[in-house]
Chains A and B, each alone.
Chain A
Amino acid sequence: MDKVVNRWIRIIFYGVLLIVVLSILAQISDLVQLLIISALLAYVLDPVVSRMEGRGMSRTVATVLLFMVSGFMASVFAVFSMPVISSEFVDMREGFDPEKTRLLLAKIDTFIRNELSFLGLQDLSLTGSMAQTFIDYGKALFQNLRSVVSVFSSLIITPFVVFFLLKDGRQIKKGLISLVPNRYFEFFLNLIYKMDQQLGNYLRGQFLDAFIIGVLSTIALLLLDVKYALLIGTFAGFANLIPYIGPLCGAAVAVLVSLLETGDLLQVVYIALAFGIVQLIDNVFVQPNVVAKTVNLSPLVVLFVVIIGGRFFGVLGMLLSVPVTGILKVLFQEWQQTSQQYHLRYTPEASAAGQLVAARAGQQDQSDIHYIGTRRAGSN
Chain B
Amino acid sequence: MDSFWGNIFRNRESEEDSLYAILKRIPIFRSLKNREVRAVERILHQRDYQPGEIVFQQGNPGVGMYIIHSGNVEVIFEPTGQVLAELSDGEFFGELGLIDESPRSATVVAKSDCKLFGFFQSDLRDLIDRNPRLGVKIVMQLVSTIGERLKRSNEQVQELRSELYVLNQKEHTTELSDG
- Known contacts: A177-B45, A351-B57. The answer to whether A54 contacts B132 by CB under 8 A is yes
Do A352 and B80 touch (CB < 8 A)?
yes
Q: CB within 8 A of B60: which of A174, A341, A358? A: A341
**Does A193 touch B at the CB level, under 8 Å?**
yes
Contact pick for A50, options B79, B81, B129, CB 8 Å: B129
B44 CB to closest chain A CB, in angstroms? 9
Taking CB atoms, residues of chain A closer than 8 Å to B49 are 182
Q: Answer whether A353 and B45 are a contact pair too, CB < 8 Å, given A54-B131, A183-B54.
A: no
B119 to chain A, nearest CB (A): 11
Q: Which of A346, A355, A356, A360 has the largest count of B CB atoms less than 10 A from its CB?
A: A356
Q: Which of A299-352 contact B (CB under 8 A)?
A: 341-343, 346, 348, 351-352
A342 and B54 within 8 A (CB) = no
* B159 contacts A by Cβ under 8 Å: no
- Asked if B29 is at the interface (CB within 8 A of a chain A CB), the reply is no
- Interface hit among B15-23, B120-128, B141-149, B163-171: B120-128
Chain B binder among A121-129, A184-192, A240-248: A184-192
Q: How far is the CA of A192 from the CA of B45 in the complex (A)?
A: 14
**Complex alpha-carbon distance, A58 and B121, angstroms:** 22
Contact residues in A for B107 (Cβ distance below 8 Å): 351-353
Q: Could you tell me the dominant secondary structure of chain A's interface residues?
A: helix
Given the contacts A50-B130, A357-B109, A189 and B122 also touching, CB distance less than 8 Å: yes
Alpha-carbon distance between A177 and B76 when the two chains are bound, in angstroms: 26
Is the CB of A354 closer than 8 A to any CB of chain B? yes
Task: Report the Cα distance A187→B60, complex, angstroms.
Answer: 9
Q: Which residues of B contact A192 (CB under 8 A)?
A: 122
- The answer on a CB contact under 8 Å between B59 and A343 is yes
**In the complex, chain A residues whose CB is within 8 Å of the CB of B77:** 352
Interface of B is mostly: mixed
The answer to the question of A107 belonging to the interface, with a C-beta cut-off of 8 Å to chain B, is no
Of A182, A186, A192, A348, the most chain B CB neighbours within 10 A belong to A186
Q: Are A174 and B45 in contact (CB under 8 A)?
A: yes
Cα distance, A189 to B98, chains bound together (Å): 13
Classify chain A: how many residues form its interface, as a range. Answer: 20 to 34
Q: Taking the nearest CB of chain B, how far is it from the CB of A192, in angstroms?
A: 8
B61 A342 Cβ-Cβ under 8 A: yes
Count of chain B residues near A, Cβ 8 A: 36
B47 contact set on A, CB distance < 8 A: 182, 185
Report whether A190 and B130 are in contact in the complex, using a CB–CB cutoff of 8 Å. Answer: no
**Complex Cα gap A53–B39 (Å):** 12
CB pair A51 B52 closer than 8 Å: no
CA distance A5 to B165 in the complex (A): 65
Closest CB in chain A relative to B96 CB, distance in Å: 14
Residue A94, interface by CB 8 Å: no
For B28, list chain A residues within 8 Å (CB): none
Q: Which residues of B contact A185 (CB under 8 A)?
A: 47
Cβ of A352 and Cβ of B81 under 8 Å apart?
A: yes
Contact A355 B81 (CB under 8 A): yes
**Given A54-B132, A353-B107, do A341 and B61 touch, yes or no (CB 8 Å)?**
yes
| Additional 8 contacts, C-beta under 8 A, given A189-B64, A357-B52 | A50-B129, A54-B131, A182-B49, A183-B53, A190-B61, A351-B58, A351-B107, A357-B109
A-binding residues in B (CB < 8 A): 45-47, 49, 51-61, 63-64, 74, 76-81, 83, 101, 107, 109, 120-122, 126, 129-132
Q: List 20 A-B contacts (CB under 8 A).
A: A174-B45, A177-B45, A178-B45, A182-B54, A186-B56, A186-B60, A190-B61, A190-B101, A192-B122, A193-B120, A193-B122, A342-B61, A346-B57, A348-B54, A351-B57, A353-B76, A353-B81, A354-B54, A354-B109, A357-B52
